[in-house]
Amino acid sequence: MPKVTANDLVERFNLEVLAGEDGVYRAITTSDISRPGIEMAGFFTYYPAKRLQLFGRTELSFFQQLSDEEKSERMEKLCTYDTPGIIISRGLTAPPELIESAEKTGVPIMRADVTTTRLSSQLTNFLEAQLAKATAVHGVLVDIYGIGVLLTGASGVGKSETALDLVRRGHRLVADDSVEIRQQHGDTLVGRPPELIQHLLEIRGLGIIDVMTLFGAGAVRPFKRIALTIHLELWDENKAYDRLGIEEAKMQIIDTEIPKYTIPVRPGRNLAVIVEVAAMNFRLKRMGINTAQQFSDRLTDVIEDGDREEF
């Protein structure tokens, strides 16, 4: 499972640690951020202790109106052993009661100079990206006319060679051989290469080549949303392949289903052109133009007109 700690936030957002340094390696398990305004008023029945707590000017201004006894009580309830961290925005001063309670339970108290709303947005986006469900797929990811196309298939079927031809035609390589995929924002799949093999492409008989060095920085991308998968397989004479394209197959990655095309491979077929056209046709479908369905409708009309003429 992906893991994020308060120390990751300190390094990523240049936060200042005010107290609870021993707890900076506590795991943050959710991307939800809590602003404990109602807890400052004394209502802790549904206190989300496992969330990152964010203090802004509103919470601290209200806190200053409490009595000394209430201040200590609220901070003790706020700083639990499950709390991954508390962040104070706008560079505001941390109440001494908060520092004291945090030191007892080891809750890291951090401070940022950013406004509360902006900080909340930045933290949420970062945590959603880091805590998203992830997997790795054997394949090649290419950006074709803005469409993220994942090429899959057995080893040696021609995925890397097809990707190389696509790069030569002006498209961009994202990852070869292994694609790390994260599911973000519900059902969005984002693929990126492992750091070790970024920008590299393996061609049998030639070896490993650096696409960015050979073709320039415009030939690669660090990541891309996956919209379509194309499975390459050796031609099977006994298998009936789709010739109209009306029925659309699906491939499930993590919890998301994406359209899947199966393209048979045999000598004489230009895979790069076929994959390129498949991406363009997929783009047309998203714009509401389905050529296969239009042909099927015209064919049905012709058949129905013929039946009426017989009568």
pLDDT of 72 higher than 60: yes
Per the domain annotation, does 304 fall within a domain?
Answer: no
Task: Give the H/E segment covering residue 29.
Answer: none
pLDDT, average across residues 158-186: 92
Q: Is 155 one of the annotated binding-site residues?
A: yes
Contact 105, 83 (CB under 8 A): yes
Q: Does the annotation flag 178 for ligand binding?
A: no
- Phi and psi torsions of 39, nearest 5°: -70, -35
155 plus 251 within the same structural domain: yes
List, by residue number, the catalytic residues.
Answer: 138, 159, 177, 243
On whether residue 298 sits in a domain, the answer given is no
| For range 266-284, the mean pLDDT | 89
- 115 and 155 in one domain? no
Asked if residue 221 belongs to a domain, the reply is yes
Distance CA 270, CA 274 (A): 6
Which of 130, 151, 177 is a domain's end point?
Answer: 130
CA angle 118, 182, 128 (to 5 degrees): 25
Q: Is the pLDDT of residue 57 over 70?
A: yes
User: Where does residue 6 fall: left (phi above 0), alpha (psi -120 to 50 degrees), or beta otherwise?
Assistant: alpha
Last residue of a domain, one of 130, 161, 196: 130
Q: Is residue 9 domain-resident?
A: yes
Partnered with residue 5 across adjacent β-strands are: 27
Residue 284 sits in the same domain as residue 209: yes
When divided into structural domains, the chain yields a total of 2
Residue 141 token pair: 């990811």
Average pLDDT over residues 60-68: 94
Q: Which of 144, 162, 164, 172 is nearest to 276 (CA)?
A: 144
Average pLDDT over residues 23-32: 92
User: Percent of the chain, pLDDT > 70?
Assistant: 95
Integer Cα distance of 233 and 160 in angstroms: 14
pLDDT beyond 60 at 249: yes
Q: In terms of domains, do 66 and 111 share one?
A: yes
Is 16 a domain residue? yes
Its domain, for residue 219, covers 133-292
Q: Is 101 annotated as a binding residue?
A: no
Measure the CA angle with vertex 271, ends 265 and 276; round to 5°: 140
> Does residue 215 lie in a domain region?
yes
* Beta-strand pair 178-184/188-192: antiparallel
186 in the same domain as 119: no
> 170 pLDDT exceeds 60?
yes
Torsion (CA) 55, 59, 61, 62 in degrees, nearest 10: -150
Look up the CATH number of the domain holding residue 102. Answer: 3.40.1390.20
Q: What does DSSP say about strands 172-175 and 140-144: parallel, antiparallel, or unpaired?
A: antiparallel
Residue for token pair 């077929």: 269
pTM over 0.85: no
What's the CATH number where 165 sits? 3.40.50.300
Taking CA atoms, 147 is separated from 130, 136, 225, 268, 286, in Å, by: 24, 20, 8, 26, 11
Instruction: Quote the CA–CA distance of 78 and 87 in Å, as a whole number.
Output: 13
Please report the pLDDT score of residue 88 as a whole number: 96
User: Three-state DSSP class for 40?
Assistant: helix
Query: Within a domain: residue 300?
Result: no
Q: Are residues 75 and 200 in the same domain?
A: no
Looking at the fold, whether 176 and 44 belong to one and the same domain comes out as no
**271, pLDDT greater than 70:** yes
The pLDDT of residue 311 is above 70: no
User: What is the number of alpha carbons within 13 Å of residue 139 lying toward its C-beta?
Assistant: 24
Say yes or no: 149 and 266 in one domain: yes
Domain endpoint, select from 113, 130, 147: 130
Flag whether 205 is in a domain: yes
One domain for residues 167 and 263: yes
Do 283 and 161 lie in one domain? The reply is yes
| 154 assigned to a ligand binding site | yes
Q: Are residues 159 and 256 in the same domain?
A: yes
The band of 152, judged by pLDDT with boundaries at 50, 70 and 90, is very high
Query: Any long-range contacts for 113-121 (C-beta under 8 Å, 24+ apart)?
Result: 114/13, 114/89, 114/90, 115/89, 115/90, 116/35, 116/54, 116/56, 116/57, 116/58, 116/89, 116/90, 119/13, 119/54, 119/87, 119/89, 120/33, 120/35, 120/54
Q: Are residues 41 and 52 in the same domain?
A: yes
